[in-house]
Structures are given as C-alpha cells and as structure tokens.
Amino acid sequence: MLVHILKRFLGNNSSHSIAPTNMKDEVSIKHPLHAALADEQNTRNIMWGYLRAALRGDQEAQYQMGLNYLNGQFGLDRSYIHAEKWLEQAAHQGHPFAKEELKKAYNQLAFS
C-alpha cells in the first residue's frame, strides 16, 4: 500500500527508487541497537511518506493518516482532532472506509 502511495507521489520518474530497502538486516549484523534505530528511522520515513502524499490529496494516504492519529500509531500521539481532519478529507474524496471510521470514532467518543 505504501509503495502505491509513493508511486503516485513520485510519478513514473525512473530516477527515484521506491523499492523498500531492508536496512534492518544490514545493520543488525553490527549491533542489536542499530536494528532498533533502523526501525525507528523506517517508521519516520513511512510517516513522512504518508504525510507528503496526504498533503498532495491522496485519499488513501489521508485515510491512513487519520487511522494513525486515531490509534496513536507510527510514533504519533493519539489526536482525535487530527484524525477527524484527515478522515473527513478522505471521506470527502470518496474513500470507501473513511466515513465508517469517522462514525466509529464518534460513537466511541460519545459513549466513553
């Protein structure tokens, strides 16, 4: 899914490589701490990829940003305000699951 978003973000320009690199395997040989740092870097790169694509109007990236804020994933603090913003944008563009996630979140907040 992220590869799809990055392809749309980068276009078909062959100078960009969107193939995922497995830094974890390369650095884990050196020291276990390096593997943890590589995972953190990969997580940060994933979030920046989603954010860039979402800001460019990609509905799937907007949906993923909403879910990440809703659940506090990929190093983001849980934020219902940010989740609502991204899910509403995705829903407005016709994302099939964004409206459903918004309804679930509203019901969860109303009854908690």
- The confidence score (pLDDT) of residue 92 equals 96
- The confidence score (pLDDT) of residue 112 equals 60
| Sign of the four-CA dihedral 66, 69, 74, 76 | positive
Concatenating the DSSP letter of every residue in the chain gives: -HHHHHHHHHTT-TTS--SPP-HHHHHHTT-HHHHHHHHHHHHHHHHHHHHHHHHTT-HHHHHHHHHHHHHT-TTPPP-HHHHHHHHHHHHHTT-TTHHHHHHHHHHHHHT-
pTM: 0.66
Could you report the per-residue pLDDT of 20-65, keeping only the tens digit for each? 444 444 433 456 665 666 787 888 888 899 999 999 999 999 999 9
Domain residue limits, the chain: 2-110
